[in-house]
Amino acid sequence: MFKKQKSLASERKREVFSQGGTRSIQKNDMRNFQSFSQLVLSAGPLKSTPAVKKSKTTHFEIEILDAQTRKQICIVDKVTQTSTIHDVKQKFHKACPQWYPSRVGLQLERGGPFLKDYITIQSVAASSIVTLYFTDLGQQVSWTTVFLAEYTGPLFIYFLFYLRIPYIYDMKESSRRSRHPVVHLACFCHCIHYTRYLLETLFVHKISAGHTPLKNLIKGCAFYWGFTCWIAYYINHPRYTPPSFGNRQVTVSAINFLICEAGNHFINVVLAHPNHTGTNACFPSPNYNPFTWMFFLVSCPNYTYEIGSWISFTVMTQTLPVGIFTLMMSIQMSLWAQKKHKIYLKRFNSCMHRKSAMIPFIL
């Protein structure tokens, strides 16, 4: 009996020890779990590994050939879809420094039109390799330089004849004959006309950033400067004959000249700030300014006012050189007006109903 009691007592102790051991193990497990959870919470949320973005940019290879010999000049590589022809010209200039971007002409095919600088490569590329033909456009000048040179010359040339500097007129005859008032008025009107041209070139007109060959600058200066010399020589000559109908002819013509100059200026301001409806451009519409009401009749009223100014100047001075200059300007501007009128018909057909190009109901 005594042995059985001892064995029972020993078994109970083992159970107690075993229960205590399991409890201690459970407590240790709980402590380890709590410490692990605190560690996870302190570390913050798990960050997902960023996905690697695949580049969708396609690079083009531009092969530039000589338009005459078809020989390869260079290859421009690593050209993106959004790159423009201007960007290609810049890279072409780095490869061939002797050709500046302004004198580089690029074509898709020989004899075709030159690509504009704003055209993207993606719009003309049929594959990853694009072939362009190069033509040297020669020495180029900006359009702003062309206009400033054409209009500055007549302004100063006319003054040389108006002041009657030596070696142009006979000084004895010049001092002996008094000037008619129309001579001073003609100088005033001529200066207003070309001063307006210069100011509008600098502050009103949105001139293209493109360039033109140097020969066009020479042609324009020869035309304007040459006619100014011819006109100023006759009007400021000591033997100049005043208009046939006297002051009445001069006064009416001078008033009409100033009206046309004002109308030309206001039309140019309207054309420099075109109307827009949403994303679509609209044909210039008349506003509260009476000078803009000419848009009801013609599509190019700036040319209408320009011709009106020179007709008034011709009648006011009554000289043959001014009349010939007015005739030549009228022919040239009528061609420009008809060309623009056709463009307006395609773009704004609903706004061009019963409108003429330059002269109401005639042209």
Tell me the whole-structure pTM to 2 decimals: 0.74
Q: Of 69, 134, 71, nearest to 103 (Cα)?
A: 134
Task: Pick the most confident of 43-57, 180-194, 282-296.
Answer: 180-194
Distance CA 214, CA 138 (A): 8
Mean pLDDT of the 262-271 span? 93
Predicted confidence (pLDDT) at residue 2 exceeds the cutoff of 50: no
What is the greatest pairwise CA distance in the chain? 169
Percent of the chain with pLDDT over 70: 80
**Amino acid at position 315, single letter:** V
**Cα atoms in the 13 Å half-sphere on the side-chain side of 241:** 5
Question: Which range has highest mean pLDDT (105-114, 143-152, 353-362)?
Answer: 143-152
Asked whether the predicted pLDDT for residue 180 surpasses 50, the reply is yes
Neighbours of 168 (CB within 10 A): 16
Domain boundaries, the chain: 59-138, 141-238, 243-362
Separation between Cα atoms, residue 291 and residue 297, nearest integer Å: 12
pLDDT digits (tens, 9 = 90+) for 7-29: 545 555 455 444 554 454 454 55
- In the predicted structure, residue 212 carries a pLDDT above the cut 60: yes
3-state SS record for 54-98: CCCCCCEEEEEEECCCCCEEEEEEEECCCCEHHHHHHHHHHHCCC
What pLDDT was estimated at residue 279?
44
Amino acid 359: pLDDT: 85
**pLDDT, mean of residues 227-250:** 93
The string over 1-27, giving b where at least 16 C-beta atoms fall within 10 Å of a residue's C-beta and e elsewhere, is eeeeeeeeeeeeeeeeeeeeeeeeeee
| Residue 70 neighbours by CB distance under 10 Å | 10
Pair 86, 105: CB distance under 8 Å: no
Q: 319: burial class by Cβ within 10 Å (0-12, 13-18, 19+)?
A: buried
Tens digits of per-residue pLDDT, 282-307?
677 788 899 998 888 888 899 999 99
pLDDT value at position 71? Answer: 87
Mean pLDDT of 326-338: 94
Average pLDDT value over all residues in the chain: 81
CA torsion sign for 279, 284, 286, 288 is: positive
- Model pLDDT for residues 109-148, shown as the tens digit of each residue: 888 888 888 888 888 887 888 888 888 888 889 889 999 9
With a cut of 50, say whether residue 64 has pLDDT above it.
Answer: yes
Please report, to the nearest 10 degrees, the dihedral formed by the alpha carbons of residues 344, 346, 348, 351 taken in order: 80
Instruction: Answer yes or no: are the C-beta atoms of 102 and 127 closer than 8 Å.
Output: no
Q: Percentage of residues in the chain with pLDDT exceeding 90?
A: 35
Is 175 in a helix, a strand, or coil?
Answer: helix
Q: Can you give the pLDDT at residue 52?
A: 42
Contacts of residue 307, Cβ cutoff 8 Å, sequence gap at least 6: 326, 329, 330, 333, 358
DSSP state for residue 357 in the 8-state scheme: S
Q: Under a CB-based contact definition with an 8 Å cutoff, are residues 313 and 322 in contact?
A: yes
Look at residues 137, 169, 300 and name the one whose alpha carbon lies nearest to residue 235: 169
Q: Count how many Cα atoms sit within 13 Å of the Cα of residue 182 in the half-sphere of its side chain.
A: 29
Range name among 87-101, 279-293, 303-317 with the lowest pLDDT average? 279-293
CATH architecture for the domain at 59-138 = Roll (3.10)
The pLDDT of residue 36 is above 70: no
Among the ranges given (20-24, 132-136, 184-188, 347-351), the one the predictor scored with the smallest mean pLDDT: 20-24
- Which tokens is 69 given? 């010999």
Residue 46 has pLDDT above 90, yes or no: no
Instruction: Look at residue 38 and tell me whether its pLDDT is greater than 70.
Output: no
What's the rounded mean pLDDT across residues 348-357?
A: 69
How far, rounded to the nearest angstrom, does the alpha carbon of residue 78 sit from its chain's CA centroid? 28
